[in-house]
Amino acid sequence: MELKNRIVMSPMCMYSCFDQDGKATPFHITHYESRAAGQAGLVILEASAVQPEGRISPEDLGIWSDDHIEGLTHLSERIHAHGAKSGIQLAHAGRKARVKEEIFAPSAIPFNEKAKTPTEMTQEHIHETIQAFRDAAKRAKQANFDMVEIHGAHGYLINEFLSPLSNKRTDEYGGSRENRYRFLSKIIKVVQQEFDGSIFVRISVSEYHEDGNQMSDFIYFAEEMKKQGIDLIDCSSGGVVRAKINTFPGYQVRFADTIKHEAGIKTGAVGLIKTGVQAEEIIQNERADLIFVARAFLANPYWPKQIADELGFELTGPKQYERGW
């Protein structure tokens, strides 16, 4: 996949499927197309649930049904119309799902005292969920997305399997880090079988807890993903358990830097990256390969133009906007 620049619109939940059916709405069309018109190189749709019970909220986009393909295809087309590549994040919220349905997790441990207690997944549940990721990848291909990102971060289901803080299983999916990686490994395999475009994985590269995974574990996971043929690791952090996180501009860049050089795989940097100088420093010093932008894109759909002006770079914009560009 060749991008016209290294700017990626990071997946962000929009909570805008008000009919709770997971289908794309006019808001989604406007929201994502405007960022493509703003000249992002890659636009990745929000966490899209592979099963209804895997939604972070009832208002999330879905990809659990063939009924979703039409709307997702239209979204992908509108992104492509502006020369950007299109992507979608395949997700399952696990124990952090805020839905009326029964929720599932590797172990029956609620996220906090206010959360529902999840049902510990049986082998059958695990196989059904892996199949759901396979089906979602097939739908993503039918909707003409250029890439998919498997959501393995922020304390959602895949992250729950990876972390010893949330995974207390005693079967082949729990215990050692090799076993805890097995669920993600199988999901990667089935996604690859159905989707022949680029495949990214987002992981939380710090759990901010002394008993959680440490950097050596994340490097191991990254090396395994590289062996499996994953193209890039999107390096975020946190979310498995409640933690006080000291945030500052670029506070997660060091994670992308470490994974890139220690595991020898391409990475994306994300987390309070707001200026052109900041983003350019990350790229030029080879600390990451792509810049994932979230909040700055919410504030300004034309953020790439803003940073191009800051860096003295002439960025070609939409023909319709030339007079103001």
Q: Read off the tokens for 258.
A: 């470490």
Q: 51: pLDDT confidence band, cut at 50, 70 and 90? A: very high
- For position 210, what pLDDT does the model report? 95
Tally Cβ neighbours within 10 Å of residue 311: 13
The β-bridge partners of 62 are 49
8-211+220-231+238-245: CATH topology is TIM Barrel (3.20.20)
Burial class (CB in 10 A: 0-12, 13-18, 19+), 163: buried
| Sequence ranges of the domains in the chain | 8-211+220-231+238-245
From 187, 163, 159, 264, select the one nearest 219 (Cα to Cα): 264
Q: Report, in angstroms and rounded to the nearest whole number, the Rg of the chain calculated over CA atoms.
A: 19
Instruction: List helix spans (H) across 116-176.
Output: 123-142, 157-162
Residue 117 DSSP class: P
Q: Please provide residue 81's backbone torsions phi and psi, each rounded to the nearest 5 degrees.
A: -60, -20
Place of tokens 């076993």: 179
In whole angstroms, how far apart are CA 174 and each of 67, 139, 156, 177? Answer: 35, 30, 16, 8
Contact (CB, 8 A) for 69 and 25: no
Q: 199: pLDDT confidence band, cut at 50, 70 and 90? A: very high
**pTM (two decimals):** 0.97
Mean pLDDT of the residues in the chain: 97
Contact (CB, 8 A) for 108 and 62: no
- For position 250, what pLDDT does the model report? 95
Residue 62 DSSP class: B
3-class DSSP state of 116? coil
Q: Read off the tokens for 88.
A: 């979608």
- For position 151, what pLDDT does the model report? 98
Place of tokens 């710090």: 206
Helix or strand holding residue 232 (H, E): strand 232-236
| Mean pLDDT, range 233-253, rounded to an integer | 95
Q: How far apart are the first and last CA of the chain?
A: 28
Q: 272: pLDDT confidence band, cut at 50, 70 and 90? A: very high
Contact (CB, 8 A) for 143 and 150: no
- For position 220, what pLDDT does the model report? 98
Please write down the HEC assignment for all residues of 248-264.
Answer: CCCCCHHHHHHHHHHHC
Q: What digits encode the pLDDT tens for the residues 277-297?
A: 999 999 999 999 999 999 999
